[in-house]
């Protein structure tokens, strides 16, 4: 146990002890001079008297000195530091793992400075035989330094550490700590968790438990009361009227705290330029939205940012929200129909696709005897409606389109006989059979649907569409192989919809038609979403999200094979993939805009906006004791008691309040000094009076 001071600078006040010394040695009592008239005309002769200076009232001197010393000690805020005693209770070298939370909520106020100070105290007591590891964690955990006996390396890593943009997750950090403890060779093993203990970081699930003799210590740097203003999201509405692509941006704002914000400033930036600024009033612990005026957006990708500024906000990370307004996405569709088909027979398909907006479909219709290879080259999806596989160059281009990642949709009709597909058996999922006529029984219906398949997942909801209302008078039999996927069946068990993957693309076969002759599906409410969903799936189209979240992994599956790619993070860090890399995924760790481009290109082919997880902005915390009980070895002392060893100096001093007792004693000594001083003064005056009386009598 050692005596430590919270404000040692006040110990300079000990110099005030010199004051009573000077008073007692210099300020001597004056002698009363008695004038004799008979000597007034004599010559003045200088008289020197040397008297040894000494302290006459030792008790008064001691009281004054001791009171001043105690006053200086009280202002220096003393307390007893038991850390060294606790640390030395067990012998042998120590294995220390410091888990430092670097999630973005640690940037609130002065949390980060308090956290790094706690980490510094944890490693300050390491000896040459000890070993330490500094682990920085948010949604993932990384060993920044160690295991090492060189404290300088750990301290250097600590100085370079900064809060990131990730959310708090305790499981990865504790898993790393568990592995380090299992491999530790030192007899004393300790894990120190320094965090604000965000409630969102742990939902109560089972965590890795440390094995004895390891112990867990928690240091809470959170705040009892918090206030935060943030942007939770952005909604972008596209409007292409009058031939101009415009966008309306609406920002969603939230307020976390007991006080409202009457005048927050909200700004919209596009491509780094401020477009509009507005004022918004946010209620206490509530939300609101701000809608900006519509703006024209270029054909290229537009980078957008919404910022909110309020007076009492102490967390800057969630005050900024990035998003992307992507260029209009268009899927080209080529519909090939029979030469003898009436003009209006296939009107349902182009009309159903013509009103699509996510994405926009550009539809081209051709008769099978007039379709060209150039038509196929311009298409992403080919729909063969009631016809077989075209011969020659057109058929070859369709095969190449599918293998390269395009799509083929086949609607089996009168001219889709087995012989019509004999030359393209590798594309069709199974064998095309004869026509099944059910007009005598007023048609069949759809029996089952695989709503978990990506082509039909939009119908997964309970009220997403009634497929049983359509009546199918005629359809062709289809016998798929074991490797083909069956998406739907008619009520008699016949295959209604099947898929085969060919190369990078997909081939979908529908057993009936889309023209209303063999069925009444085109007049049913499910027709439009069904056709659009099938075309989107065949095209391999995925909507480009306006933003992603830190912690996610971006799959670059849509990137063309055989090309080198480069991804540039907001910080400038680059990630490269060669032509031979088959798995291309990008972990999103930073807030801002990522650029993805070909290795030899200058301009970005894709821009991805990334924002922090808004759940981290919920600054509510849980008790560190809960984590201690879930992680500490069974039978060990609760980490709550051990946490006092790494509390901050102010927290430890505040718990002991030793300065208060020192101050009380100092005040009592000053009161005693006053009483004694007054008593000595009265005694001195009495002695003088008696001396003068004796002289007058003489």
What does the pLDDT read at residue 42? 53
Q: In the chain, pLDDT over 90 holds for what percent of residues?
A: 51
Tell whether domain 330-539 is in CATH 3.30.1280.10. Answer: no
- In the structure encoding, which two tokens stand for residue 275, read together? 């477009």
CATH of 83-225+619-655, picked from 3.40.50.410, 3.30.1330.10, 3.90.230.10, 2.40.110.10, is: 3.40.50.410
The average pLDDT across 225-247 equals 83
Mention the CATH class of domain 228-325. Answer: mainly beta
Is the CB of residue 190 less than 8 Å from the CB of residue 83? no
List, as one string, the DSSP characters of 90-145: S-S-EEEEEEEE-SGGGGSTTHHHHHHHHHHHHHHT--TT-EEEEEEESSSEEEEE
Note the pLDDT of residue 577: 86
CA contacts within 13 A on the Cβ side of 355 = 8
| Model confidence pLDDT, tens digit, residues 466-508 | 899 999 999 999 999 999 999 999 999 999 999 999 999 999 9
Q: Tell me, what's the pLDDT at 65? A: 82
Question: 698 or 442: which carries more pLDDT confidence?
Answer: 442
Q: How far apart are CA 662 and CA 499, in angstroms?
A: 85
Residue 472: the pLDDT is 96
Q: List, for residues 208-222, the tens digit of each pLDDT value.
A: 988 888 889 999 999
**Read out DSSP for 552-563?**
-EEE-TTSPTT-
Query: Where do the domains of the chain lie?
Result: 2-30+51-81+658-697, 83-225+619-655, 228-325, 330-539, 548-614
| Res. 548 pLDDT band, cuts 50 70 90 | very high
- Cα torsion at 201, 202, 206, 207 (round to 10°)? 40
- pLDDT of res. 299: 73
**What tens digit of pLDDT does each residue of 301-313 get?**
899 999 999 888 8
Q: What is the pLDDT of residues 92-124, one digit of tens each?
A: 788 999 999 999 999 999 999 999 999 999 998
Q: Which residues pair with 99 in a beta bridge?
A: 135, 193
- Bridge partner residues of 362 (DSSP): 332
At 50, the pLDDT band (50, 70, 90 cuts) reads very low
Q: Given this chain, do its domains 83-225+619-655 and 228-325 carry the same CATH topology?
A: no
DSSP 204: S
Q: What is the pLDDT of residues 142-156, one digit of tens each?
A: 999 989 999 999 999
Q: Within its chain, how far is the Cα of 537 from the centroid?
A: 32
Half-sphere exposure of 409 (CA within 13 A, CB side): 30
Q: What is the mean pLDDT of residues 325-344?
A: 82
Strand intervals (E) in 215-301: 215-220, 228-239, 246-256, 261-270, 273-282, 287-291, 295-296
Q: Model confidence at 677, in pLDDT bands (50, 70, 90)?
A: confident
Least confident span in 122-136, 212-226, 632-646:
632-646
Kindly report the pTM of this predicted structure: 0.65
CA 216 to chain centre: 25
Q: What is the DSSP letter of 682?
A: H
Q: Where are the alpha helices (DSSP H) in 261-372?
A: 348-354
Q: Give the whole-angstrom CA distance, residue 366 versus residue 337.
A: 6
* For residue 74, pLDDT beyond 70: yes
Residue 589's closest CA among 161, 103, 101, 98?
A: 103
Which range is least confidently modeled, 44-58, 167-181, 648-662?
A: 44-58
Residue positions counted in the chain: 698
Q: Are 558 and 542 in contact, with CB atoms under 8 Å apart?
A: yes
Average pLDDT, integer, range 117-143: 92
**How far is Cα 680 from Cα 683, in angstroms, rounded to an integer?**
5
Task: For residue 362, give the DSSP letter.
Answer: E
Q: What is the mean pLDDT of residues 174-201?
A: 91
């Amino acid at each position: 146990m050692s005596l430590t001071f919270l404000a040692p600078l006040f110990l300079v006040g000990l110099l005030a002890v010199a004051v009573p010394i000077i008073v007692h040695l210099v300020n001597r009592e004056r002698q009363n001079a008695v004038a004799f008239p008979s000597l007034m005309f004599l010559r003045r002769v200088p008289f020197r008297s040397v008297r040894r200076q000494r302290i006459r009232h030792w008790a008064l001197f001691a009281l004054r000195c001791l009171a001043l010393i105690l006053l200086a000690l009280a202002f220096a805020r003393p307390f007893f530091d038991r850390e060294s005693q606790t640390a030395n209770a067990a012998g042998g070298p120590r294995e220390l793992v410091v888990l430092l939370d670097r999630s973005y909520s640690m940037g609130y106020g002065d949390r980060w400075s308090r956290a790094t100070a706690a980490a510094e105290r944890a490693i300050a007591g390491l000896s040459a035989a000890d070993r330490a590891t500094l682990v920085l964690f948010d949604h993932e955990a990384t060993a920044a330094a160690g295991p090492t006996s060189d404290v300088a390396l750990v301290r250097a890593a600590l100085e370079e550490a900064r809060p990131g943009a990730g959310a708090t997750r305790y499981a990865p950090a504790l898993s790393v700590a568990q592995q380090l403890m299992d491999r530790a060779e030192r007899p004393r093993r300790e894990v120190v968790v320094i965090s604000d203990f965000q409630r969102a970081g742990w939902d109560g699930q089972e965590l890795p438990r440390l094995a004895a003799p390891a112990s867990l210590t928690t240091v809470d740097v959170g705040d009892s009361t918090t206030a935060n203003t943030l942007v939770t999201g952005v909604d972008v509405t596209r409007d292409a009227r009058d031939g101009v692509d415009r966008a309306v941006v609406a920002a969603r704002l939230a307020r976390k705290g007991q006080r409202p914000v009457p005048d927050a400033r909200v700004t919209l930036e596009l491509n780094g330029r401020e477009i509009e600024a507005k004022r918004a009033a946010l209620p206490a612990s509530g939300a609101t939205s701000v809608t900006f005026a519509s703006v024209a957006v270029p054909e290229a990708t537009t980078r957008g940012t919404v910022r909110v500024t309020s007076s009492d906000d102490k967390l800057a990370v969630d005050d900024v929200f990035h998003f992307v307004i992507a260029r209009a996405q268009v899927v080209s569709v080529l519909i090939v129909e029979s030469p003898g088909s009436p003009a209006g027979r296939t009107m349902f398909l182009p009309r159903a696709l013509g009103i699509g907006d996510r994405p926009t479909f550009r539809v081209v219709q051709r008769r099978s005897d007039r379709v060209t290879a150039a038509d196929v080259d311009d298409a992403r999806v080919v729909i063969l409606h009631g016809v077989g596989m075209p011969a020659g160059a057109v058929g070859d281009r369709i095969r190449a389109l599918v293998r390269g990642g395009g799509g083929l949709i086949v609607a089996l009709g009168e001219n889709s006989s087995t012989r019509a597909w004999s030359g393209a058996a590798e594309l069709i999922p199974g064998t095309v059979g004869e026509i099944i006529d059910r007009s005598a029984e007023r048609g069949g219906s759809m029996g089952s649907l695989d709503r978990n398949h990506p082509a039909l997942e939009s119908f997964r909801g309970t009220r997403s569409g009634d497929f049983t209302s359509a009546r199918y008078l005629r359809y062709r039999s289809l016998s798929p192989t074991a490797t083909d996927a069956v998406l739907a069946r008619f009520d008699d068990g016949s295959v209604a919809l099947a898929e085969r993957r060919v190369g990078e693309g997909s081939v979908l076969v529908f057993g009936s038609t889309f023209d209303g002759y063999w069925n009444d599906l085109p007049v049913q409410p499910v027709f439009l979403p069904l056709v659009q969903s099938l075309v989107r799936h065949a095209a391999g189209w995925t909507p480009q999200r306006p933003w992603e979240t830190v912690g996610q992994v971006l799959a670059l599956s849509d990137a063309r094979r055989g090309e080198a790619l480069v991804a540039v993070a907001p910080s400038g860090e680059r990630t490269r993939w060669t032509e031979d890399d088959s798995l291309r995924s990008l972990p999103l760790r930073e807030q801002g805009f990522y650029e993805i481009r070909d290795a030899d290109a200058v301009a970005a082919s894709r821009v991805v906006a990334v924002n922090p997880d808004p759940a981290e902005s919920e600054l509510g915390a849980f008790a560190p004791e809960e984590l201690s009980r879930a992680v500490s070895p069974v039978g060990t002392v609760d980490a709550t008691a051990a946490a006092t060893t790494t509390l901050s100096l102010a927290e430890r001093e505040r718990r002991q309040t030793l300065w208060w007792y020192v101050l009380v004693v100092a005040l009592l000594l000053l009161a005693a000094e006053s009483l004694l001083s007054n008593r000595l003064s009265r005694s001195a005056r009495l002695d003088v009076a008696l001396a003068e009386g004796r002289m007058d009598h003489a």
